[in-house]
Amino acid sequence: MRDESAGLASRKTTVSARISPAGGLDVLSRQEVSRLRGASDSGMHALLRRCALAVLTSGTISDDPRAILESYPDFDIQVLQQDRGIKIELTNAPAQAFVDGQIIRGINELLVAVIRDIVYVATQMALLCADLDPSEAMTQSVFEILRNARILKPHIDPNLVVCWGGHSISRGEYDYTKAVGYQLGLRGLDICTGCGPGAMKGPMKGATIAHAKQRRRNNRYIGITEPGIIAAESPNPIVNQLVIMPDIEKRLEAFVRMGHGIIVFPGGVGTAEEILYLLGILLHPDNAAIPFPLILTGPAESAAYFEQIDHFLRLALGDTAAQRYRVIVDDPSAVARAMAKGIDKVRNNRLDTKDAFFFNWALHVSPEFQLPFHPTHEAMRALQLHHGRPLHELAADLRRAFSGIVAGNVKEEGVRAIEQDGPFDIDGDRDIMQALDKLLQGFVVQHRMKLPGGTEYVPCYRIVTA
C-alpha cells in the first residue's frame, strides 16, 4: 500500500462552507445542538471535531492519531439549528472533501452519520437501558445504535460478511483482499469492515466490481468504527454506511451480532485482538452449537503469518479453539464458497431457533467481552495470562493484552500514556509469553505494526518472560 502519511502535514488546502446534511438527520433538539457545540466535560464538540475531520479526510492513509488534527489545527465544525432544519458549518475543512466548492455527497452522508451516532449515544443510551442488567444493557445498546443508524435490515436473507485485517499490509495482500471481495460479491454477499484502508478497503473494492457485473443494487459496504481509532483509520471512500460505536467492545459486539460470517486477512495486533475476541465468544459453552463461519486467509506470501497465528492460538487455547476456524491460503474462490456454505448453515440455524436474520440475539456474549477495557499500565500488568483457566476467560485477557498494544500504537490516549510512563508490561505463563513475544516480533519485522515508509517502530509493550 502506498504511504501517504509523509505528505499529510503539507497538504493544508482548506475550504469553509455551510452545508445541508444529506439524508438521515433532519432535526435536533436545542439540548442536542447545545451539547454538540459545548467544549465542557459534558459537551461533545471535541469528539465531534475529531471524528468529523477523520471523515473529511476519507481515504487518507496514516497510523498517527494526531497527524490529521495537527495538519488542520484551525478546522472547526458547528451544527446550527435553523427554521427549516439543521445546517453544518465547516471552517477550514480539508479541500479534498469538496469538488468545485461542493462537498462530495458520500462524505456528506458520513458526516451526518458522525453527528447522528454521537448525539444518540450521548443523549439516549442511558435512558433506554436503565432497567436491564449490565450485560443485557450492553447488547441492547449495540442493537439500539445500529437500529437508529438504519443498518439493520429485515426481510433479507443472511448475506453480510465481516472482513477483518490490517491497515498496514503489502500490495500483494491488498490485491488478494480485493480478489476475495470480488468472489464474495459474485455470490451476492455484502461487506462489513472496520472502514479503514488496507484489508478493510480491499474486500469492498472487489465486491463493488462483482456487484456491478451481477447488476446488483442496494449493496451494503458497512464501516463500523469507534472514536478512539477513527483518526488513525479514516473511512475509506467505498463505505456507504458508517456507524461510530462508543467503544471498542461495542464495536466488536456489533460485528459479531450483525455479521453472518467473518473472514480474517493478514493484519497486526488489532487483527489478533479481533480473532481472540470472536474465539473467546465461540469457546463459551453456551455457544457450542451456534454455527459461525470463521475463515483465516491470505495469499501464498502470507502463509507464514497464518502459521504463526495458528501456532499461538493452539498453544494458548488448544485444539478446541482451532476447530472453530479454518485456514485457506491463496484461493479466493474457495474462501467465498466456504463462506457461502457456512452462511447457509447460519440461515438454517436462525430458522430453527427463531432468531432474527439481522441481529444474532442467541449468541451469548459474557461481560468480560463487553466491559470497556482501559489499558493503563496497572491494568495491563494485572492480566491473568495463565493456563488452567476456562478458555473463554483466558481468551478475554489475551484480547485485552492486544487491545492495550493497539492503544499504545494508534490511540491518542494510549500514545500519551506510553510517552509519559514508558511501555506496558505484559506478564504470564512462560510458554505463552514466549509465543506472544515471537508473534509480536514477527509483526514488527513484517511491518504490521507501522505503515511501511514511516518512522521505525518503537514497541509500546515489554514482554516479561522471566
Map out the domains of the chain as residue ranges: 5-123, 154-466
Q: What H or E segment, with its residue span, contains residue 19? A: strand 14-19
State the pTM of this model.
Answer: 0.89
Residue carrying the nine cell digits 458497512: 222
Burial group, residue 263, by CB count within 10 angstroms (0-12, 13-18, 19+):
buried
All 3 cell numbers of residue 178?
Answer: 480485493
CATH 3.30.1850.10 fits 5-123, yes or no: yes
Phi-psi region of 354 (alpha: psi -120 to 50; beta: other; left: phi over 0): left
Give bridge partners of residue 14 from the DSSP assignment.
94
76-82/294-298 β-pairing: unpaired
The three-state secondary structure class of 328 is: strand
What's domain 154-466's architecture?
Answer: 3-Layer(aba) Sandwich (3.40)
C-alpha radius of gyration, the chain, whole number: 21
Q: Note every long-range contact of 204-211, with CB atoms under 8 Å and residues 24 or more positions apart, other chains counting.
A: 204/236, 204/238, 204/239, 205/178, 205/181, 205/238, 206/177, 206/178, 206/179, 206/180, 206/181, 206/182, 207/181, 207/182, 208/238, 209/182, 209/185, 210/181, 210/182, 210/183, 210/184, 210/185, 210/186, 211/185
Contacts of 376 (CB under 8 A, 6+ apart): 417
What local confidence, expressed as pLDDT, does residue 6 receive?
A: 39
Contacts of 155 (CB under 8 A, 6+ apart): none
Residue pair 382/396 in contact by the 8 Å Cβ criterion: no
What local confidence, expressed as pLDDT, does residue 133 receive?
A: 79
Tell me how crowded residue 295 is: count the other CB atoms within 10 A of its CB.
Answer: 21
What local confidence, expressed as pLDDT, does residue 22 receive?
A: 84
Residue pair 169/199 in contact by the 8 Å Cβ criterion: yes
pLDDT in tens, the chain (466 residues): 433 433 444 457 899 999 988 876 767 877 788 878 776 655 688 889 999 999 998 876 665 667 777 889 999 999 988 767 788 999 999 999 999 989 999 999 999 999 999 988 887 766 666 667 788 889 999 999 999 999 999 999 999 999 999 887 899 999 999 999 999 999 999 999 999 899 999 999 999 999 999 999 999 999 999 988 887 788 999 999 999 999 989 999 999 999 999 999 999 888 999 999 999 999 999 999 999 999 999 999 999 899 999 999 999 999 999 999 999 999 999 999 999 999 999 999 999 999 999 999 999 999 999 998 999 999 999 999 999 999 999 999 999 999 999 888 878 788 889 999 999 999 999 999 999 999 999 888 887 876 555 567 888 999 987 6
* Short-list 405, 461, 168, CA closest to 276: 405
Q: How far is CA 274 from CA 66, 298, 353, in A?
A: 24, 16, 27
Q: Hey, CA dihedral for 156, 158, 159, 161, is it positive or negative?
A: positive
Rounded to whole angstroms, the Cα distance separating 320 from 391 reads 9
Q: Across 141-215, where does the E strand assignment appear?
A: 160-164, 190-193
What local confidence, expressed as pLDDT, does residue 351 receive?
A: 96
Give bridge partners of residue 223 from the DSSP assignment.
193, 242
What local confidence, expressed as pLDDT, does residue 7 receive?
A: 42
What local confidence, expressed as pLDDT, does residue 131 receive?
A: 66
What local confidence, expressed as pLDDT, does residue 326 receive?
A: 96
